[in-house]
Chain A
């Protein structure tokens, strides 16, 4: 469904992505792991063209394009198929929860207002915010804001949702409610790429885990393969650091 081939990206002369390839099939939940600075965010942002990649190809269903010379039209076509959930939510401050969700439907997709409101309410209900339609982001907790962020993403009915560390800005007691919503989406067959440090989510929900380091994919496999018998030493080092009781089969 979505394939990224050999993507390169540098900030000045800091090469951040050095030929990353990634393939996502419909219904996949791909979790990307990796140490800080390994380029996970940059990869995700490049897929949504929030960052302009220097080279590489993107294949999305029947769209086939090169990052270096992609047209505005293609960008907008691909963006219509994707949604992004940000680490710090990025809700529109001047809009209520419901308006945040309906904005993309009414303005970008030109849906009639009543229809958009109906879809928007359903999306907010789904993330457990039926009591908060008319609240402004500043009146919501971090966990609630991020759930609005997820509602905004699912409302546009994307083929794939990109999550960049959706829980890392949250207080520990609020992480669960957001992960719960994501788990639910995964169960329903939503295709997603998730950058996270939540290992339990990776183990329980992902069907593929990708480990990145230094701008490259070091290793990828099923959660079982990655957590029980990783092949690469760098993967083991990372997992040992992040999971104190990590114990792999040699």
Chain B
């Protein structure tokens, strides 16, 4: 067995850095699309319509039972077939599309629960008070309920984001070259040597990403929960 070369970690890091944007773009794309679908699912769950609620629950139930890596292959091999049936050819679409689609599908189900529980955590009296001073339900939503449930949702959202980032490393299995994909390539090129150094370099990158996410959300939470913070001091 080859000896361990800590200095190679730095070398790998430098080679991985140019691919960091792929990882970040994957996360941002997923948060955007998955978040939007998640809001719709959460809305379907808290509103009165029975059929929409049932559909949302079915969606969440099904997607929650599928491991990400399996979902990734189903989307990667299945979606082109499905769309071909409608005469749409997506065989030349980049791998990033499949990755973002896959993780959006999964992330949406998580977000639906995060948003729903945050919404339900806001006291019903807030809505009534707003109604009593003549605010419409839309005004009440964006002026009163949304700011309050954002604060409630933030920690769970940050958690989901970190999980997404880590699960996202599975995208290399369909050949996406993000930091993980590039790491795998490097190991392949070195015929399996320096594997440990490469994985340690990846660990450092994911650690930094997680650190940045958690710190920024910590700051954001502090900033948004002005009213709440005072409560703990009182």
Contacts and interface: CB of A to CB of B under 8 A. Distances in A.
Contacts of A107: 135, 139, 143
Interface string B148-188: 10010000000000000000000000000000000000000
Contact of B227 (A76, A79, A137): A137
A187 B174 CA distance: 77
B133 A103 contact: yes
Interface size class of B (residues with CB under 8 A): 20 to 34
Contact of B135 (A83, A103, A139): A103
A44 to B, nearest CB: 11
B134 A95 contact: no
A48 interface: yes
Interface stretch (A26-34, A57-65, A84-92): A84-92
Interface of B is mostly: helix
Contacts of B230: 136, 138-139
Interface in A191-226: none
A108 interface: yes
Contacts of A104: 133-135
Contact of A83 (B126, B133, B144, B231): B133
Contact of A50 (B128, B147, B228): B128
Interface size class of A (residues with CB under 8 A): 20 to 34
Contacts of A88: 125
B226 interface: yes
Contacts of A94: 144, 147-148, 151, 226-227
B82 interface: no
Interface in B182-234: 226-228, 230-231, 234
B132 A108 contact: no
Interface in A104-140: 104, 107-109, 136-139
B141 to A, nearest CB: 12
14 contacts: A76-B134, A79-B132, A79-B134, A86-B129, A90-B126, A92-B130, A93-B228, A104-B133, A107-B139, A136-B226, A138-B230, A138-B231, A152-B129, A156-B133
Interface of A: 48-50, 76, 79-80, 82-84, 86, 88, 90-95, 103-104, 107-109, 136-139, 152-153, 156
Interface of B: 123, 125-126, 128-136, 139, 143-144, 147-148, 151, 226-228, 230-231, 234
Given A104-B134, A156-B134, 6 more contacts: A48-B132, A50-B132, A84-B129, A90-B126, A91-B129, A136-B230
